[in-house]
Amino acid sequence: MLTFLTRREQFNAAHRMYRQDLTEEENFRLFGKCANPNYHGHNYDLFVTVKGEVDHERPCIMDLKELKVIINDHVIEKLDHRNLNLDVDFMAGKMASTELLCIEIFKQLKGPIEAYAGVCLHSVRLAETENNSTECFG
C-alpha cells in the first residue's frame, strides 16, 4: 500500500526581498518591509514528505534517522542561522522568496532521498510564519 511519511525540521534564516533592477523606493512599494536593506529573519518550519510502498516485509518507507541526516546534511546545515541572499550556495542569484526557497530545497533533497530503493520525495512544505507557507510537489 502506498504510504506517506513526513519529517519536520526547523531552521532560522534571514533574507531580503528585492530586485537589483529597481530603486529602493520601488522595492519597498513591491515588497514592503521585506525589502528592508538590513534584512529580516524567520523561524522556518520545514516539512519533508516521502512516499513508498509498505507491507509486512517492508513495514517502513525509510529509516527516520536516515531521513533526518539527509535533511540536516543537504539543507539545514546550509540554511540555519544564515543569510539566504548572501550565504547559501543553492540560492545564489535567486530571489529569496519562500516559494523559490521551497523549490530549491526540494532539488537539494530529491537525489539523496530517492537513492533509497522504493522511496520517492513527494513534497516539501516550508512555513515562513504560522500563517504563511508554500509547498512544492515532485
Active-site option among 9, 34, 42, 114: 34
Catalytic residue at 102?
no
CA dist., res. 52 & res. 71, Å (int): 18
- Output DSSP code: residue 59: -
Active-site option among 26, 66, 81, 99: 81
Catalytic residue at 128?
yes
96 and 16 Cβ atoms separated by less than 8 Å: yes
C-alpha angle with apex 88: 83 to 93, nearest 5 degrees?
100
Catalytic residue at 9?
no
Please identify which residue in the block is written with the cell numbers 522504493. Answer: 118
The C-alpha cell that represents 60 in the structure block: 517502513
Active-site option among 15, 122, 128, 136: 128
Question: In whole angstroms, how far apart are CA 127 and each of 27, 69, 121, 133?
Answer: 23, 20, 18, 4
Query: Which residues are tagged catalytic?
Result: 34, 81, 128
